Amino acid sequence: MNWIIVVIAGLFEVAFASCLGKVKETSGAEMYWWFTGFLVSLIISMLLLMKATQTLPIGTAYAVWTGIGAVGTALVGILIFKEPATFLRLFFIATLIGSIVGLKAVSH
């Protein structure tokens, strides 16, 4: 169950990073709505990570959480923010996914 919480926390990390990207692209009231989304997502992500690390090893849970956030944010950047999807970028995203799966597989 706590691994599910880490995954959800990682998805909220993607959300807060994506909202931060929208904050820099917008202005006025719209910017404040994106900033509010950033703060809410950040708080939820941290609370869920804190909950999960009460029973999971902190090093592994944090690395998986960060990895999910990094992969998800890179994919959002490619799909939504029109960042380049070069071969090397996709290759390293794939190695991150492999590392996340590997960390989960070797943890107790």
Give the confidence band of 105 by pLDDT, cuts at 50, 70, 90. Answer: confident
What ranges do the domains of the chain cover?
2-106
Tell me the pLDDT tens digit for each residue of 21-51.
Answer: 899 899 999 999 999 999 999 999 999 999 9
Percent pLDDT > 70 in the chain is 99
Do residues 96 and 71 lie in contact, with contact meaning Cβ atoms separated by under 8 Å?
yes
Which pLDDT score, from 0 to 100, does residue 106 have? 86
- Cα-Cα-Cα-Cα torsion 19, 25, 27, 29, nearest 10 degrees, comes to -30
Q: What is the pTM of this model?
A: 0.87
